[in-house]
Copies of this chain bind each other. A is one copy, B any other.
Amino acid sequence: MTLIDGIPADVVSANDRGLLYGDGVFRTLKRVGGVTLCWARQYRKLAADCAALRLGCPAAADLEADLARLPRDCVAKIIVTRGRAERGYAVVPDASPTRIVTSSPLPTYPQSHAALGVKVHLCGLRLASQPRLAGIKHLNRLENVLARMEWDDPAVAEGILLDTEGGVIEGTMSNVFCYRAGVLHTPDLSGCGVAGVQRERILDFAAQSGMAMKVGTLPLDALMEAEEVMLCNSVIGLWPVREFNGRIWEMGGVAAQLRQLMEERDD
Question: Once bound together, how far apart are the Cα atoms of A173 and B90, in whole Å?
Answer: 11
Contact of A142 among B15, B75, B86, B140 (CB under 8 A): B140
In the complex, A102 has a CB within 8 A of chain B: yes
In the complex, A144 has a CB within 8 A of chain B: yes
Contact of A139 among B20, B88, B164 (CB under 8 A): B20
Contacts of A130 in B (CB 8 A): 128, 143
Let me know if A89 and B14 touch, CB within 8 A: no
Q: A11-B14, A128-B128, A128-B129 are in contact. Are A21 and B145 (CB under 8 A)?
A: yes
Q: Which of A2-10, A193-201, A242-250 contacts B (4 or more CB under 8 A)?
A: A2-10
Q: Interface readout for A16-53 with B: 1 if CB under 8 Å, 0 if not?
A: 11111111001000000000000000000000000001
In the complex, A54 has a CB within 8 A of chain B: yes
Let me know if B21 and A141 touch, CB within 8 A: yes
Number of copies: 2
Let me know if A139 and B19 touch, CB within 8 A: yes
Let me know if B19 and A12 touch, CB within 8 A: yes
Contacts of A53 in B (CB 8 A): 142, 145-146
Interface size class of A (residues with CB under 8 A): 35 or more
In the complex, A87 has a CB within 8 A of chain B: yes
Contacts of A125 in B (CB 8 A): 132
Let me know if A21 and B22 touch, CB within 8 A: yes
In the complex, A148 has a CB within 8 A of chain B: yes
Question: Once bound together, how far apart are the Cα atoms of A151 and B53, in whole Å?
Answer: 15
Contact of A145 among B79, B87, B89, B164 (CB under 8 A): B89
Contact surface of A with B, Cβ cutoff 8 Å: 2, 4, 9-23, 26, 53-54, 75, 77, 79, 81-82, 86-91, 100, 102, 104, 107, 125, 128-130, 132-133, 138-149, 152, 164, 172-173
Given A21-B140, A23-B142, A86-B104, 20 extra CB contacts under 8 A: A9-B14, A10-B14, A12-B14, A16-B19, A20-B79, A20-B139, A21-B141, A22-B142, A53-B146, A75-B87, A77-B87, A87-B104, A88-B148, A89-B148, A89-B173, A91-B145, A91-B149, A128-B129, A130-B143, A133-B142
